[in-house]
């Protein structure tokens, strides 16, 4: 009797396909706050691996997601990029995706959170998604253009007198870039004399607005952006 050849999709001890495993990994990372901060790789693996699976079974999945730009891995910590959020949305909408076992409360609640934040299907159509599923920004040049457009729009619409709060720019761009990438590219725009990042406090000194501002290499808080090149 011929031995059935094992599919590549079910290699390395994974239950189900690697495509499904990628979606589960991205969902768990998103739910753990991977768009805002780095998550310990061990914590993420424990969250996604199921009965009879081992942590090593997911190594190939992590490597593929890293190669595709969906996640970044540094010193056993993982963060989720804007592209990763986009891939998660596509994976969950894929008609072939399904859970092949009981998912548990954490996964169920993560799905509920995703539906609430990105919109749910209504009358056979998908509601308009939030910025979480917009196209990821893949390069500095693209970010420079997007950030400049956001700056101009906010400066015009809110009469900000050429001092646009950085937290507003960050929130408008949303998960199209990671928090670390946003900070790095905004600092690069300053280095290229496109923007000047200035100090000063945010209105009402709200901690979340301060958190969404920028600290430079010296730890100095920068709350406003001023356009130097029109």
Using alpha carbons, select from 134, 225, 135 the residue that is nearest to residue 185.
225
Residue 188, domain extent:
140-227
Mean pLDDT split into 10-residue runs, the chain, 230 residues: 40 73 91 88 88 86 91 89 86 78 76 71 38 73 94 89 92 88 94 94 83 89 89
Instruction: Tell me if the pTM is above 0.85.
Output: no
> What is residue 37's DSSP assignment?
S
- How far apart CA 150 and CA 41 sit, in angstroms, is 34
Instruction: Evaluate whether residue 3 is within a structural domain.
Output: no
- Count of domains for the chain: 2
**Do 46 and 29 touch, CB atoms closer than 8 A?**
no
Q: Are residues 191 and 92 in the same domain?
A: no
Q: Are residues 123 and 17 in the same domain?
A: yes
Q: Classify 40 as helix, strand or coil.
A: strand
Q: What is the CATH number of the domain that holds 97?
A: 1.10.10.10
Using alpha carbons, select from 95, 196, 83, 185 the residue that is nearest to residue 144.
185
**Do 25 and 62 touch, CB atoms closer than 8 A?**
yes
**Do 71 and 62 touch, CB atoms closer than 8 A?**
yes
């Amino acid at each position: 009797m011929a031995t059935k050849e094992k599919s590549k999709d079910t290699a390395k001890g994974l239950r189900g396909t690697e495509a499904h495993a990628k979606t589960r990994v991205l969902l768990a990372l998103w739910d753990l706050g991977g768009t805002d901060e780095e998550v310990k790789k061990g914590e993420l693996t424990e969250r996604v691996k199921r009965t009879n699976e081992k942590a090593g079974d997911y190594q190939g999945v992590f490597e593929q997601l890293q190669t595709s730009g969906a996640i970044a891995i540094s010193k056993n910590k993982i963060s989720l990029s804007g592209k990763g959020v986009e891939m998660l949305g596509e994976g969950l909408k894929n008609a072939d995706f399904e859970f092949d076992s009981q998912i548990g409360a954490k996964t169920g609640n993560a799905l509920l959170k995703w539906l609430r934040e990105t919109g749910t299907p209504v009358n056979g159509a998908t509601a308009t998604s939030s910025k979480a599923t917009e196209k990821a920004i893949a390069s500095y040049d693209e970010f420079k253009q997007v950030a400049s457009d956001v700056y101009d729009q906010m400066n015009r619409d809110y009469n900000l007198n050429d001092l646009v709060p950085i937290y507003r720019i960050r929130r408008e761009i949303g998960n199209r870039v990671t928090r670390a990438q946003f900070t790095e590219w905004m600092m690069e725009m300053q280095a290229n004399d496109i923007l000047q990042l200035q100090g000063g406090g945010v209105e009402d000194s709200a901690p979340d607005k301060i958190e969404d501002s920028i600290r430079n290499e010296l730890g100095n808080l920068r709350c406003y952006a001023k356009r130097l090149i029109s």
